[in-house]
Amino acid sequence: MCSAERETRGPERETRGPERATRRPERGTRGPERETHVPERETRGLERGTRGPERGTRGVRGDRVGFESAGAVARAIRRKDVSAREVVAAHLEHVERVNPRLNAIVTLTAERAMDQAALADERLAAGQDVGPLHGLPVAHKDLADTAGVRTTYGSPLFAEHVPEHDDLVVARMAAAGAISLGKTNVPEFGLGSHTFNPVFGMTRNPYDHARSAGGSSGGAAAALAAGMVTLADGSDVGGSLRNPASFCNVVGLRPTPGRVPSWPVAAPWSHLGVQGPMARTVADTALLLSVLAGPDPRSPISLETPGGDFTPPLEGDLRGLRVAWAPDLGGAVPVDAEVRDALRPVPSLFEGLGAEVTEACLDLSGADDVFRTRRAWQLELTHGALLDEHRDRLKPDAVWNIERGRELTGPDLARAERLQSALHQRVLAFFERFDVLLAPVCQVVPFPAELDYPHTVDGVDMETYLDWMASCYLVTAMGCPALSVPAAFTPAGLPVGLQIVGPPRADARVLAVGHAFESAARAGERRP
């Protein structure tokens, strides 16, 4: 039985949620759908051992750009070493070869992308100012509205929905010169850390096609890992940027809430859901964050500090950095032996970089209650109208989650508020003693794709779909920026990521630490 058809027993986790759920399903499209392409769902056998050029290499050519860093490709385009048309065409050819086996990009906009690439080359030839992402092939998560392009949210209710306007994240990437190749796959409404839905089927892990790519930004992570795009956007409530990044050996940043403003959203005051950057390297992740960050008056939690450039501080050593190493978040979560073994060298590696490493974790009591209560409330807010009108067309987990939100009382929400306030004070006190917290991104390695979710972790039964990703959602409750960076591989060749957490608003710090670790560990250089 395909996992897209399986019934899971507990709540699925990740929803960016906002405005998507409050819309009524479209009866028809409102604009031209551009070259829609749905890849094959269940094919396997992508050739192993393919390796692209090493990161940051020079002399970019149009026929070998699939694994170049986004920064290197952007510089080559601006130098006119290669044209945007060559770069986009090469990526589209690679998508056609690789994507049918992975199902990462589910709506391909090839003709539109080539038209935009031609315009990009014309602007450069005319001496016009160009943005930092000029000519770079990207893809957008299928939860982010993209004007004129089918955006389904992974739901049959919106299978032919074509938005009229861009999400703010999509608009900022386009304004910076990025060229979209299409939309990346998600679980239905982004609910889940395993990417499958009844519209497009399942996304498979580039490192092992029999395993999950994670979620809910699983399509984005798989597309990056396979070299189909240079950059991608994602979103994260309880791990949707970090979990697939770990599973697919790429980088994903959950920014400080408000660092990347979201609009339109149905829950604009919520700090749970954020949008953020994904890439193959920390430097490229910082490049995209520099484009996405910055205030917007329509977002009430938007940080008023300018977005700025997050790339310059990346270079440097870690001498004197105070590191807290929490291999199981202070006993708060079980972690499979494969993950523990893969991350065992992390403390000594940081010590070799000059950091002072102590095994420690803050008191996370109440964090689980905070996250589950606030998430349930947000799901009812963002998806409740769909439950009222289309209960029979929603997957069982969506129904369960929304109903949990409806069961909440005023005292429940008040308790969560008190717990959140106390947790915030403990977070501030902890980061007076330490500069960063290190922990596993995921409690398990990429699991078999036919499973709905891992039902045991290190011998501990997972009662709900939510339980196995506590290593991410407890960090969400902290309100901190958190980076997933490639750390190691298991003997079976499965990726394992490291989660680097900083104090609120210290996004630049976690990027700098991640860059140093990435350069030392070099796990991100290993291709599928």
The DSSP call for residue 448 is B
CA dihedral 291, 294, 297, 302 (to 10 degrees): 120
The Cα 69–Cα 72 span in angstroms is: 5
- How far is it, in rounded angstroms, from Cα 277 to Cα 64? 23
CA distance 381 to 405: 8
Q: Record the tokens describing residue 286, joined without a space.
A: 């910082």
Q: How far, CA to CA in Å, does 113 sit from each of 32, 35, 60, 122, 435?
A: 15, 10, 20, 14, 42
Question: Would strands 137-141 and 179-184 be described as parallel, antiparallel, or unpaired?
Answer: parallel
- Do the beta carbons of residue 273 and residue 237 sit within 8 Å? yes
Bond from prior residue into 264 cis (ω within 30 degrees of 0):
yes
Closest listed residue to residue 495, CA positions, set 473, 522, 477: 522
8 Å CB contact between 15 and 191: yes
CB atoms within 10 A of CB 354: 12
Our CA angle for 313, 504, 523, nearest 5°, is: 55
* Token digits of residue 284: 């490229």
Any idea which residues carry the catalytic annotation? 141, 216, 240
Concatenating the DSSP letter of every residue in 463-496 gives -STTGGGHHHHHHHHHT--EEEEEEEE-TTS-EE
- C-alpha to C-alpha distance for 388 and 391, rounded to whole angstroms: 6
Cα 418 to Cα 369, 406, 412: the distances in Å are 11, 20, 10
